Amino acid sequence: MSAPIRILGIETSCDETAASVVLRDEDGRGEIASDVVLSQLEEHSLYGGVVPEIAARAHVEALDTLIEEALSRAGVTLADVDAIAATSGPGLIGGLLVGLMTGKAIARAAAKPLYAINHLEGHALTARLTDGLSFPYLMLLVSGGHTQLILVRDIGVYERWGTTIDDALGEAFDKTAKLLGLPYPGGPAVEKAARQGDPQRFSFPRPLVGEARLDFSFSGLKTAVRQAAQSIAPVSDQDIADICASFQTAISRTLKDRIGRGLARFSEEFAGVVADPALVVAGGVAANQVLRATLQDLCDRNRFRFVAPPLELCTDNAAMIAWAGAERLAAGLPADELDVAPRSRWPLDADAKALVGFGKRGAKA
């Protein structure tokens, strides 16, 4: 039996600085030998969101130390690593430059191949690391910068079935929290407040529910939340809890319709081909327990396997970047040249058409 592939991964696309060493054996089984993540939450919480310049500076200050720690925890040196994988996009260009340039320097100095990884591909392939999924499968990516339903056909072969036409779901959570005076990050704060609220008090819209297309829209829902808060101002703690609970319910029912249609399309297109269909959820919003329960129930009803990687692998991390590099190396895909440039926008499906309102400043892809 040949030795497993060892990959050093680097992730700096937003406000987490991360390094990891991941192994992949010849049968496709993966192991995380180390995964080190440094959060910048305190640095950005004062501003109610990520400040790109602060994030980039923090990456510069911390990345070298984190790489050394990741190698040490894995019990390896650079000589033992088969390749370097670094996030090349999409994301904040300052952070991407820090991570990719560091990856290039290490690859050149250690004479190792470099894989410039699409951050979204890292999310798309994580379920193969954690659950050994076979292709094809569906992935729902829900984060601060993305809301997409993607068919994962193979390594490097992706089809975008649906995307947001305006705000990403994580952005809607963050802006709702900010409107109601809740702390950053908004997703956990809204979920916590919603536990004490009445989910039936406010009837918020469920955008695009009933439409055959598989896209998403959250701008109108966000506007409805603002109007509801203004109509009863000043809001009490109970008002905030009720708004959050009603907002979360609207999101849950919207996803139930949108993803339900996606599962039906998958079942139709792969009838008799895929014996164990699966839906993977990834991204920071995947931590929301109400939304997870909704998707689990939806999958159970449609006889789909529901795969939600551990929470630490749903948010930004370097293990998924290392694993994507390992998958590419094992598949015989070529490494990247050292003049490869970072990309602030990098669609996973290069053939997908941009939608109205999509790709505005601030979107990651």
- For the cut 90, the answer to whether the pLDDT of residue 332 exceeds it is yes
Residue among 344, 340, 349 at smallest CA distance from 145: 344
Question: Based on the domain organization, do 59 and 141 belong to the same domain?
Answer: no
- For the cut 60, the answer to whether the pLDDT of residue 115 exceeds it is yes
Alpha-carbon distance 336 to 347, whole Å?
18
Domain range holding 203? 135-311
Mean pLDDT in the chain? Answer: 93
**Amino acid 362: pLDDT:** 39
| pTM for the model | 0.92
Residue among 22, 51, 49 at smallest CA distance from 34: 22
Question: Based on the domain organization, do 276 and 307 belong to the same domain?
Answer: yes
Alpha-carbon distance 96 to 12, whole Å?
6
- The beta strand positions in 119-220, using DSSP E, are 137-142, 147-154, 157-163
Residue among 345, 315, 322 at smallest CA distance from 106: 322
Question: pLDDT-derived band of residue 363, with 50, 70 and 90 as boundaries?
Answer: very low
- For the cut 90, the answer to whether the pLDDT of residue 244 exceeds it is yes
Counted domains in the chain: 2
Q: At what angle do helices 237-269 and 186-194 cross, to 10 degrees?
A: 110
What CATH code is carried by the domain that includes residue 71? 3.30.420.40
Question: Based on the domain organization, do 295 and 153 belong to the same domain?
Answer: yes
**Both tokens of residue 284?**
């920071």
Q: What is the mean pLDDT of residues 261-271?
A: 97
Task: Specify the amino acid at residue 165.
Answer: I
Q: What angle do CA 38, 39, 44 make, to 5 degrees?
A: 140
Q: How many other β-carbons are positioned within 10 Å of the β-carbon of residue 296?
A: 15
Question: Based on the domain organization, do 183 and 295 belong to the same domain?
Answer: yes
Kindly report which listed range (17-21, 78-82, 209-213, 349-353) carries the lowest average pLDDT score: 349-353
Residue 342 lies in a domain: no
Question: Based on the domain organization, do 98 and 198 belong to the same domain?
Answer: no
**Amino acid 46: pLDDT:** 67
Q: How many other β-carbons are positioned within 10 Å of the β-carbon of residue 53?
A: 9
